[in-house]
């Protein structure tokens, strides 16, 4: 019987993934040029779909953003700061940001001053919501195929979990910076490779019989899921949006404990062993603490230092909640209709039967 620590050896090396297939004229344009040496781009085709959730637009922005993370196999690193590509990204971001503002809606409260930022975040994240809970569905009625689909959707974020928020660190100071570093240190496993949350998620994918390689499921990942990752990358890459990035992380940490517990329970129901559940179970414990650090040390800490950022902190919080609500709605609608929520059925992406450790209970 292997020890849990042996099972937790991450199966996912930090390799640059292959480029995906295009989904329309804009993503085709980006893909066509990225395989060449960096050079000045001709004018890009006009967007043909929604700048936030559209398949073509979301993928085009995602492709450009990945150049700031692990890049792609066969793509020259020089594209990251090629001025003409940066100019295209700025155009895409302008349309993206306008749609995020639509989705996030207006702030109903008083954005002035720092009083009550933590309390307002608690109120936003611990309210009644609209009653549609993805984790509750998966825990109570989800099938193994649903669990795998959910893991595939999340893989484009969880395999780089914490990385976009790390961009906030050099932009913060004092108490807010210390709070961010405390959270991030845990996300990176305190410096232990096999305890990094992104490594733990790779183990979960493997235990579900899925491919744990970074970017393995990009072709199957729909635009509304890419939008959740583009949102945090957008906030992360811009110093101007450091307040929104902090609000985004605060909501992330403050909405984690109960859902993570439900996903762990669902995995247990299908006989997935401790290694596969570890990612979720770690979050139940860690985020019970991170929730407080994020709301009080980080968000309220930043608001105290820079009161002018209160509106941005709350905007970032509303933005992630809105984009995640769309994600939840799209998955639950697809499943209610008996179809896959991915761009291809889960049957065509499972590489192995899951490593079932015990009889489902």
Residues forming the site for Fe ion (CB under 5 A): 187, 197, 253, 287, 290
How far apart are CB 283 and Fe ion at their closest, in Å?
A: 6
- Decide: helix, strand or coil at residue 20: coil
328 within 8 A of 134, measured Cβ to Cβ? yes
Q: Alpha carbon of 225 to those of 59, 159, 328, 343, 356: distances in Å?
A: 10, 14, 10, 11, 28
Query: Which CB sits closer to Fe ion, 96 or 279?
Result: 279
Question: Closest Cα partner for 222 from 343, 305, 77, 353?
Answer: 343
135 within 8 A of 283, measured Cβ to Cβ? no
Question: Closest Cα partner for 237 from 38, 352, 78, 92?
Answer: 92
Residue nearest Fe ion, Cβ-based: 197
Question: Whole-angstrom Cα distance, residue 7 to residue 13?
Answer: 16
How far apart are CB 207 and Fe ion at their closest, in Å?
A: 17
How far apart are CB 291 and Fe ion at their closest, in Å?
A: 8
**257-282: string of b/e by CB count within 10 Å (b at 16+)?**
bebbbbbbbbbbbbbbbbbbbbbbbb
How far apart are CB 266 and Fe ion at their closest, in Å?
A: 18
Query: Which CB sits closer to Fe ion, 133 or 292?
Result: 292
Query: Which CB sits closer to Fe ion, 281 or 287?
Result: 287
How far apart are CB 349 and Fe ion at their closest, in Å?
A: 24
Query: Which CB sits closer to Fe ion, 58 or 168?
Result: 168
């Amino acid at each position: 019987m292997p020890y849990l620590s042996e099972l937790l050896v991450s199966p996912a090396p930090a390799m640059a993934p292959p480029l995906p297939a295009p989904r329309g004229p804009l993503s085709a344009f980006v893909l066509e040029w990225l395989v060449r040496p960096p050079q000045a781009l001709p004018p890009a085709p006009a967007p043909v779909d929604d700048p936030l959730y559209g398949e073509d637009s979301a993928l085009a922005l995602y492709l450009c953003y990945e150049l700031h993370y692990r890049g792609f196999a066969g793509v020259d690193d020089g594209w990251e700061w090629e001025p003409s590509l940066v100019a295209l990204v700025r155009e895409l971001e302008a349309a993206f940001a306008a749609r995020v503002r639509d989705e996030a809606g207006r702030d109903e409260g008083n954005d002035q001053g720092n009083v009550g930022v933590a309390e307002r975040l608690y109120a936003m994240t611990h309210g009644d919501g609209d009653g549609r809970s993805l984790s509750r569905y998966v825990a109570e009625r989800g099938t193994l195929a649903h669990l795998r689909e959910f893991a595939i959707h999340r893989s484009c974020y969880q395999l780089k979990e914490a990385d976009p928020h790390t961009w906030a660190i050099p932009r913060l100071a004092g108490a807010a910076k210390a709070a961010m570093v405390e959270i991030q240190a845990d996300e990176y496993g305190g410096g232990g490779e096999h305890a990094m949350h992104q490594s733990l998620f790779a183990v979960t994918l493997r235990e579900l019989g899925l491919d744990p390689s970074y970017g393995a499921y990009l072709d199957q990942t729909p635009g509304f899921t890419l939008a959740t990752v583009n949102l945090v990358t957008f906030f992360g890459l811009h110093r101007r949006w450091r307040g929104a990035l902090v609000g985004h992380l605060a909501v992330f940490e403050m909405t984690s404990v109960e859902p993570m517990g439900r996903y762990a329970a669902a995995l247990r129901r299908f006989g997935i062993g401790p290694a596969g559940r570890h990612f979720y179970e770690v979050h139940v414990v860690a985020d019970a603490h991170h929730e407080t650090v994020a709301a009080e040390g980080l968000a309220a800490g930043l608001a105290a230092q820079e009161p002018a950022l209160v509106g941005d902190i709350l905007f970032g919080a509303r933005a992630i909640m809105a984009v995640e609500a769309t994600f939840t709605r799209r998955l639950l609608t697809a499943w209610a209709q008996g179809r896959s929520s991915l761009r291809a059925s889960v049957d065509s992406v499972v590489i192995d039967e899951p490593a079932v450790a015990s009889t489902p209970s």
